[in-house]
Structure 1
Amino acid sequence: MPPPILIVEDDTTIATITAGYLESEGFKSEVVSNGREMMRRLRTRAYALVLLDLGLPDEDGLSLLRKLRGRLDIPVMVVTARNSIDARLAAFELGAQDVLTKPFDPRELRYRALNVIARHVRAPEPPREYVLGSWRIHLHAHTIHSTRTGKSAGLTRTEFDLLAVLLRGGGRVFSRAQLIDAVTGVSDPESDRAIDILVSRLRKKLASDGRGSEARLVTVRGTGYRLPVDDSTVVEISASNRGG
């Protein structure tokens, strides 16, 4: 039998409805109402998924996501009443695999939960590496470092995901809506400014190598952004010619 889903929710009505629906769909579930108990359970039990409310009584959910980042191999899906794009992006940058805003249809919860669990257990994609200026980017390992200084660019998860989308795009133009959907799974009219800020941050970090890599990220006026791949400074490295 697969591990249960851990529901972290202090609203007893929402928790009961969520647990009841999931169990009617064949999922086992457990409910806790605060961050302290969540951390205790995660240290002692295995779970297929954590459904995390951000507004908990003892600790903010974003703070809990920060604690979990890199420590546990359990996917986290945020379920929250905070519907601003900034709150959703913050959750993704701290490691959430998906964000669902309240109120929600239980059927949507089911499909999103299934998708998160499936992505988590799916076989990993073959390793892919790129060179952008003096940056070497390992998509599979989620690392980017300068071949000149050896230092990391220090990208957040969402910044790295944005760069990966543009690299995989083969030079195509992405609209702001497409980019925000690709890096967060949420398309929203508020997202234009959010993606512009994200691109600005990415450009600044790419510029830190002093080789003009940020200039490769092109703004297409009235549309969005693209990363040209017809330039020799952006190449995919095959398994046969990988260097150190």
Structure 2
Amino acid sequence: MHHPHHDAVVALMRHVAAEIVMPRFRNLAADEVEEKAADDMVTIADRMSEAALTEGLAALDPAIRVVGEEAVAADASLVEGIDRGGVWIIDPIDGTNNYASGIATFGIMIALVEDGATQAGWILDPVSGRLCHAVAGGGAYVDGERVFARSSGAALPIAGIASYHLTDAERAALIARSENVFTVAAMPRCAAEQYPRLVLGTNDVALFQKTLPWDHAPGSLFLREAGGVVRWPDGTEYRVGNQRRGMIAAASPALWEQAVEVLFG
């Protein structure tokens, strides 16, 4: 099952990947990269990607507003009301720090959200060309093939834990709690890669600290439509517009229960 705008969205994403993102990968001049905040990069490619995606999406349906990560960085008020009405949410390059460092783990992500609920999501890996997409009530797909989340099958389930926003003490406590229950894996610093890992059996669980809408709107739908779960520790389902810290995504409800007990019990 496809969203009516699917073909146009995918064509737009592939065009931006080919014309803007990939030509500048490992090819950025020093003045084309800047630090928005401590350890948060932006490049000329992020800005050009977002401009092209915004223009293309706005043309599909003038009634749906467009909210991009870099536009919000420039004007924080744009994120207000992101959970009301129809909104396209864009992450022009997810994993910018990787992209700017020449590490091939980044993605282009788009979600179509209606009143805070993601209706469709697209995650493109420009390096491999892999496209993950999902439609609410219509399943999750990788390159057009329907997929269902599967566990890694590891003796100790593999947990990706975002620890780079934590203090040393918080990080040590998390790792101590996980011992003998989970194998703790480093996260790719890229939601466009982390969510597929939960569906494809690379990771079983992921603990996210920050829950910005452009990072989580597409992937959370993709994981849920594949049979996984994305919830805060109190059991509340992830919704766009709620930016609480510390959220758990898992390949199955049982893995989520196990993770919340270990990490927050």
State the TM-score, normalizing by the size of structure 2: 0.28
Structure of greater relative contact order (alpha carbons < 8 Å, 6+ residues apart): 2
User: Between Structure 1 and Structure 2, which shows a larger proportion of strand residues?
Assistant: 2
User: Between Structure 1 and Structure 2, which shows a larger proportion of helix residues?
Assistant: 1
